[in-house]
Amino acid sequence: MGLRRLYAIKVISKSLLSDPQHIRQTNTERALHLSASHINASSYDASFEGRSPFIVFLHGTWQDSAHLYLVMDYIQGGDLYTALRAKARFPVSVARFYAAEIVLALGFLHRMDIIFRDLKPENILITPSGHVKLTDFGFAKYVADATFTLCGTCVYLAPELIKLEPYTKSVDWYTLGIIVYEMLVGHPPFEQGNILALYQLIDAHRVTFPREYMGDQEIDFLRRTMTPDISSRYGHNVPALDPCTGQPILGMSSLVGDDSLPDGTEEVMRDPFFEGVCWPILEGSAGGYFGPRGGVRVPWIPEREMNFQEYDEIDFGRYNQAAYPLGHRSGLFPDF
Q: How far apart are CA 218 and CA 97, in angstroms?
A: 13
Q: Which among 2, 11, 7 has a CA at the least distance from the CA of 315?
A: 11
DSSP element (H, E) containing 217: helix 216-226
User: 203-210 long-range contacts, Cβ below 8 Å, gap at least 24?
Assistant: 203/159, 203/162, 203/163, 203/228, 205/159, 207/181, 210/185
* Residue 28, burial from CB neighbour count under 10 angstroms (0-12, 13-18, 19+): middle
What are the DSSP calls for 47-100, one per residue?
Answer: --TT--TTB--EEEEEE-SSEEEEEEE--TT-BHHHHHHHHSS--HHHHHHHHH
Q: Which of 64, 79, 118, 172 is catalytic?
A: 118
118 is catalytic: yes
Q: How crowded is the C-beta side of 227, counted as CA atoms within 13 Å?
A: 14
Please give the Cα distance from 126 to 222 (Å, whole number): 23
Q: DSSP 3-state assignment of 10?
A: strand
Active site residue ranges? 118
